């Protein structure tokens, strides 16, 4: 039974699953100018992921997605 006065639309506030899990981290050193440009993006992490994926595709090392079939 739901709590009286509770949020009836609680499911809209839960975490969403992306296309695949991203459990690994990478430390990258960059200049102040490059850092400012990356941090000014709406989603800096996704911006860097896309840049790396584009470079890998150009070099014929396209990343293969794993998991994410949820």
Measured distance CA(30)–CA(27) in Å, rounded:
10
Give pLDDT, residue 29. 97
pTM of the predicted protein model: 0.62
Dig out the tokens for 50 from the structure: 């896309």
Give pLDDT, residue 68. 44
Residue 39, in any domain of the structure? yes
Give pLDDT, residue 9. 74
Structurally, the chain folds into a number of domains equal to 1
Residue 40, in any domain of the structure? yes
- Which domain does 49 fall in, by range? 27-62
Residue 1, in any domain of the structure? no
Total number of residues shown for the chain: 70
Give pLDDT, residue 20. 80
Residue 7, in any domain of the structure? no
Q: Which residue has the tokens 């490059």?
A: 34
Residue 2, in any domain of the structure? no
Residue 67, in any domain of the structure? no
Give pLDDT, residue 23. 87
What does pLDDT average to in each consecutive run of 10 residues of the chain (70 residues)? 67 74 91 98 95 92 58
Residue 35, in any domain of the structure? yes
Measured distance CA(43)–CA(30) in Å, rounded:
18
């Amino acid at each position: 039974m739901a709590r009286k006065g509770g949020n009836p639309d609680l499911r809209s506030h839960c975490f969403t699953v992306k296309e695949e899990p991203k459990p690994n981290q990478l430390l990258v050193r960059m200049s102040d100018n490059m850092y400012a440009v990356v941090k000014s993006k709406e989603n800096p992490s996704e911006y860097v992921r896309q840049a790396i994926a584009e470079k890998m595709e150009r070099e014929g090392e396209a990343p293969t997605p794993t998991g994410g079939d949820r």
